[in-house]
Amino acid sequence: MKNFYFLKSLGVLCLVIVLGACSHTVPVSNITVSTPIGLSKISGRYAAQVQTGGWVLSAKSKNGGLTFRDYSINLNGSYLNAMQEGLKVSLENVEFVSEVMTPAQLKEKGFDAQIVVYQGSADAAYSVLPGLWTMTLGEISLATTLAIIVPEAGLKYQQSLDEKGEGNMESIMGSQVEEALAKATGNAIDKIVKSTLLYVRDGIHSTKSNSKPA
């Protein structure tokens, strides 16, 4: 009989561990990135490539405790949509392409420049702070590299960027990890897209200034 209860308890413990260790998928919605009011579109005709596919993250607990679950987050679709929409509202004329073009190809097709946005490092984590009201904090860190290629000289501008998004949730019913991570994901995408677009503006202005004859 003792062995029976021991095995039963062991089975329950194993079930708890398995359920606690399984992975959950965080839903990621498309977001709208607003550009600063008063900024006009950048004149010219541009090719743009936005690299995607590399941001499928696994968020792990930073403080352990009873929460051992991993949360899977696929940022690629939402990020690609936000970056492309941001480029559309920032540039007078933009065509999205699937590869990096050579200076000769840019000249042949009549582009003033190509804008390339590479995906860099990315990280996701969450913390659960128990209390009368349970606080759940989601954290998403994203990095991109912006490159601008011109027909006359090839790579003319490059800038590395990184941003961090956070999402806080409070609940008396327990942790809300998925909600906190979803909020952090939206904030991180919003920040990295806005930062990249500002440097696109700076980079194009820089390449145009440098191309003027002395």
Burial of 166 (0-12, 13-18, 19+ CB in 10 A): middle
Cα three-residue angle 174-179-184, rounded to 5 degrees: 125
Residue pair 44/93 in contact (Cβ under 8 Å)? The answer is: yes
DSSP bridge pairs for 58: 72
**CA gap 137, 151 in Å, rounded:** 46
Q: According to DSSP H, which parts of 59-159 are helical?
A: 76-90, 103-109
* Cα 76 from chain centre: 7
Q: Which residues of the chain have pLDDT under 50?
A: 2-20, 213-214
pLDDT of residue 197: 95
46 within 8 A of 97, measured Cβ to Cβ: no
Q: What confidence score (pLDDT) does residue 123 get?
A: 97
Residue corresponding to tokens 């005709």: 45
Note the pLDDT tens digit of each residue in 159-175. Answer: 999 999 999 888 765 56
Q: Report the pLDDT value the prediction gives residue 190, as an integer from 0 to 100.
A: 96
pTM above 0.75, yes or no: yes
Question: Where do we find the tokens 């970056």?
Answer: 83
HEC profile of 46-87: EEEEECCCCCEEEEEECCCCCCCCEEEEECHHHHHHHHHHHH
Q: What domains sit in the chain, N to C, each tagged with a CATH number?
A: 24-211 (3.40.50.10610)
CB 46 within 8 A of CB 112: yes
Q: Would you state the pLDDT for residue 17?
A: 42
